[in-house]
Amino acid sequence: MPSHEILYVLCSYLLGSIPFGYLIVYFSEGKDIRTQGSGNIGATNVLRSKGRVAGLATLALDILKGALPIVYGRVHFDLPWIVLLGGLAVLLGHVFPVFLKFRGGKGVATLLGVFLVFYYPALLVFLGVFAVALWLTRYVSLGSLLGTAAIFFCILFTQVVESAVVVLLMLVLIVFRHRANVGRLLAGKEARFVFGKHE
């Protein structure tokens, strides 16, 4: 792989490693979000633990950091799967951030940022599946998993196979990061989501 592409992937990982949810809570309240709620640094836990403003700010910034490498990649690289490698790297950075000893978020918001720029119809598919699953079950985790799987199939049937392979790795990463949620879903112990609170 040429040095430019290697640097692109490395910088994407470092960008993904910026823990916006952690920073927002730390600088606003002096607290570690990893000690609150589910212990996750992502938007859902920040929303549940610290409220709407902090949660939405985390969501927006995590989406933005997923989008930025793809904006760069689409300008500088011809092969779509190379562009998506930046998306995979930023996702890895969010899930395993070097700045927080590799204990990060679950990656869904960052994934949305990736596909907002790379192929927005896949994002629309995600949002549709997520909304239906959340409305029927009130499980954020289930909606996220089903929506991510829908993105993979959307890319599989519309893009080159190399791109689908990279997105499959993203799906595996998201499922791995949600493994505890899957266990709770199967046991009927997963928390259902209600805006402003959870049960």
Q: How many domains does the chain have?
A: 1
Domain range spanning residue 55? 3-198
Contact 58, 20 (CB under 8 A): yes
User: Could you tell me the mean pLDDT of each successive run of 10 residues in the chain, 199 residues long?
Assistant: 92 97 91 86 86 92 97 96 98 95 92 97 97 94 96 96 97 95 93 62
pTM for the model stands at 0.91
What's the confidence (pLDDT) of residue 198? 43
